[in-house]
Every structure is written in structure tokens, then in C-alpha cells.
Structure 1
């Protein structure tokens, strides 16, 4: 009898996929690393099954085309592939890119979820949300939920506690749950919100100012128009609980300006809380026309771009705006609106197909839950959760079309980002996107049917729908006749890694910098090698300039030879930038108030929201932060977040040691500009951790450590050694990690102090300070091991530091006097290979 053999699927090593992808991205190593690490098809063992993004795009096109065949007038696989390939036009984001056609994992395609519990204020309801949050995060979803239903601190309760603890303890619980859940090497993502009307909102606003607290969540305050008017007019404001009750159980009058000042101060100091202008959110929300059917918006996803009702979800996709500029960077440059409109229609149709693919994924999750060996009682919360999500997915068919490369599009058209002309043009583009996406949804409804609860009468007074009606009466008539396929359609999400692969500016942001410097170690005896400098160790280095991709395009179009420009001096490059459309249009150049006004103008054509962080210099005043927030409210933004340079470090107070003139330490008084570095990888509670240990004469001098996340830590596993450079510039100091790859190129990973959680960094400064003062390593290990705090994430980090430092304890070194063997009680413990070993009974305990 003939036996059928299963065809073996071809797999690739990381280096094979990386090298092929470097060629695909035309030498862009960062883009290649991001794609291989985050998006190439893998199984649970990390085996890679795709060589380049072409393979991924073929996988996506094949699956989307399979769904298309279920409907009239289907797009072909080749048509879809041509839209996706090279990241040129349509770019599915995150979950859809990794999950579509992925047979190796049972995970959702949705990027965003919001959950809730019908305002249940019992412990059972609060714990249920905690479990639902964890269940979603293990399927790669980012989660948001609101805490306004929790009764304020001191309220009477019918249990042994007698009074409520308020919202803050539950913030910590939800935060800790987030940190405990790993998603394919990524941490969970959580948004916690509360209404400014809630009596505990001030405690919520202050909660993250305490070191080590609420480290696993973003927090935003839902601010209503009444509160903002009270701030502007200097009037009192009433807080109450329940917040929406006509007959509240609790009421108090507060000074609105004082609470507003606290929000501003905390945002200035620590970049949180963000603000959500909630009346604008709900007033503009199309799904809120169906609030009585379960579509009342209650919170947002972790980055704030998708406000959602409980148990709804959304998938994201971006259009690359730069690709629609013809003859870029020339006097003949123009935006191809006809092609753009055609592709918007295709993108919206593809998004609707992805909903069907998501429903298949949900059914697979439900099937797995049914087959799991646990009791039905244990599985019931997870099963009911996904049944609710499935229902909302079918009823509303929500989509999330956005954009990337706004900054490059404007530059290519000769428009300066932040100028009035540039903002006016951006509004035209986003208005076109909104109208054509809704038109596509109406056309799709003709062929496939409207979303089941569509009701034109419910939507007749919605401001967003009426804006569409005013622009295109015929579209509105067709929508009321045939319905619409999707309840809401548009967003502008962060596109960090997406923009690395499109090789463009991110989202609606301006270019960060037109160029930066990079170094590689060279052999000074080689021909045609330019030695820029020789370091203290005697190694020769070549320093060269790396340019933003589209700035290179501008050079080529305008007759400059990029290879020659790479050898320009700093002064020559700055003069060149002045001639380009990127001059005065970087993230540090654009006027902050103008930026939020631009966001507000674009928001009028985005039915969900826009994720934007306003980056501010370190010396900005709190008054200017208030001006940015107030302008955002006045301009019609749905939310706003600010980040003041260095503000995260301001959350914890660190005592900076004065330089010791009579230094008895084996180390110099001043930190050398370059230190050799060991890279130590290890497992900690089944998680992958890494430590960068800076060495002086082979002794630990400083340490940076934390969880490994490939999107922010793209250092190959083969790298064991490198250097830590202390860099000083106009923004202060930072620590960069530098290593030489197998091709001889030096790669620089900027900002070790910002790679890991901020609380880790502040404790790392403390421990590094002890190391630099020459304390013996065994004593440092004892000190570190004694730092046990009421925070599991910090304790896990402390254990990682302890394990890393033990490697530098010489064998035979005695343990701290008085430390006894836990097995025999003898004071005979010595370190051997980093482990404490008893010379009396042989008991050994490794860190």
C-alpha cells in the first residue's frame, strides 16, 4: 500500500533570512532585523519559514484571495500581492501581518481590544476583568478598560473590609497581570482610564508617580467639556459616584484648575497621564449611535487610536502616502489622487476580508478551548469572552485603516511640515481617505450586505456622518439605501516598525532626523580605508553618515551623489539640509501648538482617533504643556500625550554622588568615554533576559539589564562582547551599545538607559554607583539580593542583576560572614562558578 508522506516545509536560519532580507531592503540592516525578528513566519520553537518579505506578502495575498472568492467580483491573488509587495502601497500592521495564514499559532489577528463588566463593582466583577485581560494578552492583543465603575475609596461595602479601597489597588493588580503575560517575546500592553468626574481621579492621576507602581499600563484621564470649561473660567467642578447617575451616592466640589495643574505637572514630569477629551470622543463616535445595543464607547486601546465599546476589537492597516507622490522632490511633484482613491477602495475591501479571517481565528480559539483538558468551570470565562468578541465582530465588522509616511509625502511635494499649506494639504488627503473608505464600505455592503445592526436613522445626527453628507450627498444617499459594511473604519495608529519596513517617516509624524552618524571598525592597513579616529585601545574606526531614506532620494533627484555626500563634513551636511524640504521640519523643529492644531484638523476626517505624542524639549515649562493640552481640546483632538525629553527619569529621585577627590576605588573618578562590555543572556522565570555589563580592567563598573524584546533590542544572540559609549550632546548624556557584526560593520544601539523599563534604569544607576565605588562583587551581590520590594517585576529584575554579577565573583571567595548553609548550617559557603557552594556538605545554590 502506498504511504502518503508529509511534505517537509522549507525552513531557514536567522542568518539566512537576515542576509536575504538585507538584500531585499537594499542594505537596510535595521529593517531586515525587524522583519525577521517580528514578522517572518515562525513556529513556537522559533523556526523560520520565510526568507524575505516577498514570502510573507504571498502568504497574505493567498489567504485574502481565498476569502475574496466567497463574494462577488473577487480580487485575484496577484492583484492583492501587487498592492502589498515591497511595502509600497498597503501595509497590514502587527497582528494581521504575523497571523494571517499562520498555522503554527492560535492567536487573534486583532491589534486592539476593550473589555468591561457592565459596571459591576463587586470583587467578582473586578477579578473577571483581570482574567479576561490575561486571556486576551496571551493571544497577542493589546487591551484597554475603564475603572470609573469602581466605587471610590472609603465607600461602604458589605464585606469584612467595611469600606472600599478605591481604584489604585486594582490599577496595580491589572498592571501586574500585564507584566506576567508574555506574547511571543513581547510584553502585554494595557490602557487604564478613569473619568475626571470620579472622586478617585486624583489618586489615579498620581498613582504612577510612585517608584515601581503601575509599570505595566498606560494611564489616561477621560476629561469632559464641563471640566475644561471650569478650568478656563476658574469655576468649581462636581465629582460624583456613580459618575452618570442622576442621583449619585457621593458628591464633592473640587477646584478644577488645581486638579488640572496636577495633570499638567505629572505629564510634564513623567509623560503620564495622557488626556482623552471624552465628550469629543463620544459625540463624534459613529458606533455610539448604537450605544443602547452595546456599542457605548468606554475606553481605548493602549495607544489611544481606537476608542471601543466592551468586547469589541479592531485590526489595523496603513496606506503608504509617499508612494502616491509622482515626480517626488521636483517642481512637477504631485499627489496621484486617482490611484490613491482606487487603493483606498481596495484597502477597505481587504480590511473586510481580514474580519472574516479573524472570525476563523476566533473559531479556532474556541475550538482549542473546547478541547483543552481543564474543567468547563475553569474554561467558562475564556470561552464566554471570545463568544462576546465574536458577536461584536460579526455585528459591527469594525476596521482600522490608517496611514504612514505623512512627513515624507509633504516633503516630496515641497511642503514644510507644520506650515499652514502643509496642514491644508494633509486635511485634503485625509478627507479623501474618509470619503472613499466609506464609499468602498457602501459598495461592499451592496455585494456582501450591511453590518447587521446598521440603521441610517440612528446615525442622522452624528457630526462625522453629516460631514460626509455635506461633502458628498450622493454617497450619503447610497449609504442610506444600501447600508454600510462596517460600523467604523478609520484610525491613525503608531507605525514604528511598519515605517522601518516602508523606509519612511512614521504615521503622521515629521522626520525625526535627516541623518545620523555610524561607525565601523577597520583594518588601517587595508587599501581604500578611511580611518576617522583611533580609540584608546588602539583600534581604528571609520565614521560615516547614514541618511533618512527619502532624504537620500531628494539628494539623487537634485543632482547630489549620495556616496560623495556621505563623506561631507558636519557643516557641509547642515548646509545641504538647509536646501532640502526637511529643513525646519524635523520633530524638534515643528511648533508644538501647530502640531496639535494639525492633529485636530485631521481628526475631523478620522472616525476613530489618532495616536500622537507631542515631543517637547527638556527645558519646556509646565505652562507650555498646559497650552499644548488646551489647544488640543479647542482644536477637536480626541486625545493628547506629551513626552518631555528626560521626563521619565524624573519619576524617581536619584542622589548623584559628588566626585570623590580621595578615591580609594580601583576605578577612575570620571567615567571613561568607552568601556568594554559583556553581553550576558539568561532565563529568569522562563523569560529571556539580557545584561550589558560595562567593564573597567575586567571588573564590573556598570550594568544595564532587563527583558529581551526584539523590536527594541535587535542584537543577534551570537554577540557576546561589545562596548558601551557615553555620548554627550545638546540633549544631555546617554549610553550606546556598540558591536561589530560578522561583516565587519559596527552597529550602534542607541540609548541603553532607555531600552528597559524606567524603574529598572533608576535602580541600575544605584547599583552602578556602588560598583564604581569599588565595593567587592560578593558584597554587591548581597546588597542586591537584599533589595526585596513589593513589586514582582522589580524583584525579577533584581534576581537578573544578581545572576549577572555572580559571574564575576572569583572561585573560592567566601560568602558574607555569618551566612550559613541552608542544608547543614555551617558557615562554610564559598563561590564556585558563580554559585554559593558549601564546603562542608556540598550543597550548592546558583543565582
Structure 2
């Protein structure tokens, strides 16, 4: 997924040069690991076996991301061939790097009697399951398998096995990949369960690549929200009719792909992988034993080395699940809504804005988390202990809660919704003129948040419109009329709107 480059027109392509560089570096690193690894001292046979063959397991993750970027459907004939081309490229350059290491450090000790034995060389270059039909489409450089075979005969090879495909669930998540290992993307929106010292923490997720595709379509915010709401239920976009067919064709998830397509994708990769492959075949709730049997028979016929089957909803506890799956398991039971709020980090960074409002000068601070997403909002208006300060603090706390509760929407999108709700709320004493007019404290907060999100430019508006001077200093709310016109005058608080006096 990190080996994609874009041209000036924004067209994606595989960065084969960068991929080759990564493969060579990773092969050398993994061979170093075999030497440096701290094997269990109580079982010396482990170290001896590892050093005899020096097997390494260079694999992939983010294959589904790559297919999304290149607008190729996972499981299609094109998808199977691209997967095979990428895996063949990785296997070839991993073996080339291993031969280079053999020249520097010597071949693996158990090479005699193996398929790489120079005296009885039996290894043959791997071949794709079906002849390539799109070899020129993705610009993959030519591979000299004959030259590599000659080099192995001459120098041997450092590692008896070079490639595998691991699950990479946690590693892929930490690395920012949407698809784990060679799997398709599980769902465009789902809930991830994390065990935090015995506590089940729910992390809601939505596909960044899918969000980017929606933005490229130029859809308005309301339409995007409707699409995301529907997708968040099932994790799939196949039933969203407002989406163009080309988007639905590319953005398939695990449940949208047939069992045969799952198996054929694995087989396309297996042709160029030494060890077995971690690959799950997803079945719907209606799958029968015969459906599962057919998948295993096809995998055997296509020479896959292993197969895992998962039927949706068959396990009580899972790491990933969609809302629809959870509702199906819960049946008629009411849905349990997570109440876990993200804890505040020790340190956050933010920006403070100064804005005149009908209740006095407001200082509004917007703090962000490590991903530059809005995390919390603080409001400081009026004197400490006044009703005005209490209302301002309440607004800030509620906005912060909206930003920190679990949600499939990003914090930025949630803050935009807050802006839409607060913008235009009127009060009894507006401040300013024209575009810079502040109708109330909530309206002022909305203007500052909109500026922070890049939706408007308050500084530019202030340069155009004249500034209205306040009639008096900071005021509090009048208990009689409710206006923010209760002001300290000559040692007594009086309301300038209705004449109320506390004296």
C-alpha cells in the first residue's frame, strides 16, 4: 500500500523501483534477525534448526489498499493477475538478494541435499497459474529468472525459504493499512474490539480511501452523510444506489467477494510463496457444509497450502464486526451503546481565538490530538463564577464530549456538524455588522470553529466590516428578562434591558 505513486493527473501506479528497494532491504534485515534472534536457551535445537536452513518469511500487507488505489476489484481476473505479478516480483528480488547474501556470507548450511544443491540442482522458477494477460498494463519490469537460476547454481542461496504471508492484523492497523496481509478490506465501516485490562473497548472505523473517493465525486455533505450512515450499518457500499457503479465495483469488502474469488486470489499468490498463506474465506450466515467443502476442494486443486473459513456470526466474540452482525447476534435485545470516552492525553497542542460576542470578549481554545484531529474545546467568557462563564464552560464541555465519544465519523466531520447546529443562533443583543456580525455566544463559537476548520476566514471579514464598540463591559444574564444585560453599576447589579436591580 505504501508503494503507490501518483502522476500529475492523480493517476495511481505501482512504484516498482521502491518495491524492489524495500524487498532487498527487508531480505537482508530478516537474515540478520536469524542471526541476532534470542532463541530459547532451554531448547538449543531451535537455534540449530533455524541456522541450518536460515528460513525467512518476507510477506505483504495492504494488498486490498493497492487494489483500491488502482481501481481494481479484489477477486476479479485483473485483481488475481496483479496480485500474482506483485508476489512474483517480490519473490524474484528476495531470491536475488538472498543470492547476494550467499556471496557475502555463504549459503545456508543445509543446502546439500536440498533443491538448491549445486551437485543435484532441482529447483525450477515458479510459474503463474494462468498466463499473464495484462503484463504491460502496470509497467512491471522484466524478471530474469534464467539468470537468477544460473546465479543460484554458481553461488548458492542464503535462505532456504524466502516468502510467506502472515495475518498482520495488529501490524497493519498500526501501519495504517486498511487490508490485512493479502486479505480484502474487511468492511468500509466496522467496530474493532480491544481488550483493555479486561475491559471491552470499542473503536469505530471508516475507510479513509472510501472517504477520499466520496470527496473526489464532489458530493455535497448531506449526501455523503447519508451514504456513510448506510455503509456504517453493513460495512458494504453495494446497496447504496446513489453511488456510481465504478465505485461500487472497486470498493468491495470481504462479504461482497464470492468464496471462489477468495480461493483464486490466494492461489494466485501461493504460486510465488514458499510457505503457507494466512487467508480467510468469508461466508455469509446462510453458508452450508457443501459450500465450505467446495471451497476446500478448489483450494486443493489450485495447490493452496492451507485454508481458513469463517462464517459470519459463528463466533460469540470477534475482533472485528459490523453493526448488522452485532444486531443479528443480539436478536431482540436492545443494542448496548458504548459509553467509553477517549481519555485526555498528558499533553495536547491547540490554538486560542479571541472574538467579541454579545456576552463580552470570548477566548476559544481548540486542542488537537496526535492526528491533528480536533479533540476538545474550551470557552472563557466573563468573570469567573458568573452565569455567563458557566454557560460558556457548558458549551465547551458538550462540544468536547461530542469530539471524544466513539463514532464512525472523524472528529473533524463531527465538529463541522457542531458548526452547522450553532451557526445563526440569535440573541437579544447582536454585536457587529455585515458578515462579521455575531448574533450570540453560540453563533460566535460556530464562527471560530468554522475558521479553525478552514470553512471561513474571520480575519478577512473583520477587515471588510466596521467594528461595533460594546455598549458596556462584560454582562451577566438577567434573572427577570433573560438578556445578557445585567451589569455592575455603582456597587449594584442592574439590568439595562428591563430595569431589574438586585439592590
Q: Equivalent of 1:514, from 168, 188, 208?
A: 188
Partner of 1:489: 162
Structure 1: how far apart are the matches of 2:305 and 2:271? 10
Q: Equivalent of 2:57, from 393, 400, 421?
A: 400
Q: Equivalent of 1:728, from 320, 327, 335?
A: 327
Q: Equivalent of 2:79, from 412, 422, 437?
A: 422
Structure 1 residues 459 and 499: alpha-carbon distance in aligned structure 2, compared to 1, 3 A threshold = farther
Does the aligned pair in 2 maintain the 1:442–1:479 contact within 8 Å?
A: yes
Structure 1: how far apart are the matches of 2:13 and 2:281? 29
Partner of 1:610: 277
Does the aligned pair in 2 maintain the 1:459–1:465 contact within 8 Å?
A: no
Greater radius of gyration (CA) = 2
Partner of 2:25: 346
- SS of 2:60's equivalent in the other structure is strand
Does the aligned pair in 2 maintain the 1:577–1:583 contact within 8 Å?
A: no
Unaligned runs of 5+ in 2: 129-142, 193-202, 232-236, 345-400, 409-503
Structure 2: how far apart are the matches of 1:645 and 1:416? 22
Structure 1 residues 727 and 628: alpha-carbon distance in aligned structure 2, compared to 1, 3 A threshold = closer
Partner of 1:355: 34
Does the aligned pair in 1 maintain the 2:58–2:163 contact within 8 Å?
A: yes
- SS of 1:642's equivalent in the other structure is strand
Structure 1: how far apart are the matches of 2:165 and 2:14? 20
Structure 1: how far apart are the matches of 2:244 and 2:171? 25
Structure 2: how far apart are the matches of 1:550 and 1:517? 17
- SS of 2:58's equivalent in the other structure is strand
Partner of 1:646: 313
- SS of 1:614's equivalent in the other structure is strand
Q: Equivalent of 1:461, from 110, 122, 126?
A: 122
Displacement of 1:438 after TM fit?
Answer: 0.4
Structure 2: how far apart are the matches of 1:562 and 1:452? 63
Does the aligned pair in 2 maintain the 1:397–1:486 contact within 8 Å?
A: yes
- SS of 1:501's equivalent in the other structure is helix
Does the aligned pair in 1 maintain the 2:68–2:250 contact within 8 Å?
A: no
Partner of 2:209: 550
Structure 1 residues 459 and 392: alpha-carbon distance in aligned structure 2, compared to 1, 3 A threshold = farther
Displacement of 1:621 after TM fit?
Answer: 1.7
Residue by residue, what CA displacement relative to the aligned partner does 1:457-484 show, whole Å, maximum 9, x if unpaired?
47733456689xx961111111111111
Displacement of 1:394 after TM fit?
Answer: 1.7
Does the aligned pair in 1 maintain the 2:125–2:145 contact within 8 Å?
A: no
Partner of 1:739: 339
Displacement of 1:633 after TM fit?
Answer: 0.6
Does the aligned pair in 2 maintain the 1:349–1:441 contact within 8 Å?
A: yes
Structure 1 residues 730 and 511: alpha-carbon distance in aligned structure 2, compared to 1, 3 A threshold = farther
Structure 2: how far apart are the matches of 1:464 and 1:392? 26
Q: Is 2:258 aligned against 1:591? A: yes
- SS of 2:59's equivalent in the other structure is strand
- SS of 1:632's equivalent in the other structure is helix
Structure 1 residues 736 and 581: alpha-carbon distance in aligned structure 2, compared to 1, 3 A threshold = same
Structure 1 residues 748 and 332: alpha-carbon distance in aligned structure 2, compared to 1, 3 A threshold = closer
Structure 2: how far apart are the matches of 1:415 and 1:326? 16
Structure 1: how far apart are the matches of 2:173 and 2:66? 16
Does the aligned pair in 1 maintain the 2:183–2:280 contact within 8 Å?
A: no
- SS of 2:89's equivalent in the other structure is helix
Structure 1 residues 458 and 422: alpha-carbon distance in aligned structure 2, compared to 1, 3 A threshold = farther
Does the aligned pair in 2 maintain the 1:411–1:582 contact within 8 Å?
A: no
Displacement of 1:601 after TM fit?
Answer: 1.9
Structure 1 residues 569 and 615: alpha-carbon distance in aligned structure 2, compared to 1, 3 A threshold = closer
Q: How many matched pairs?
A: 308
Partner of 2:377: none
Structure 2: how far apart are the matches of 1:561 and 1:325? 28
Structure 1 residues 553 and 474: alpha-carbon distance in aligned structure 2, compared to 1, 3 A threshold = same
Residue by residue, what CA displacement relative to the aligned partner does 1:544-581 show, whole Å, maximum 9, x if unpaired?
99521222333445556889835756469733475526
Does the aligned pair in 1 maintain the 2:4–2:66 contact within 8 Å?
A: yes
Partner of 2:392: none
Q: Equivalent of 2:46, from 389, 407, 410?
A: 389
Displacement of 1:748 after TM fit?
Answer: 7.7
Does the aligned pair in 2 maintain the 1:441–1:485 contact within 8 Å?
A: yes
Displacement of 1:729 after TM fit?
Answer: 4.8
Residue by residue, what CA displacement relative to the aligned partner does 1:54-87 show, whole Å, maximum 9, x if unpaired?
xxxxxxxxxxxxxxxxxxxxxxxxxxxxxxxxxx
Partner of 1:754: none
Structure 2: how far apart are the matches of 1:557 and 1:350? 39
TM-score relative to the length of structure 1: 0.33
TM-score relative to the length of structure 2: 0.54
Partner of 2:354: none
Residue by residue, what CA displacement relative to the aligned partner does 1:512-539 show, whole Å, maximum 9, x if unpaired?
2223589xxxxxxxxxxxxxxxxxxxxx
Displacement of 1:647 after TM fit?
Answer: 3.1
Q: Identify, as 1 or 2, the structure richer in strand.
A: 1
Displacement of 1:353 after TM fit?
Answer: 1.4
Displacement of 1:324 after TM fit?
Answer: 1.1
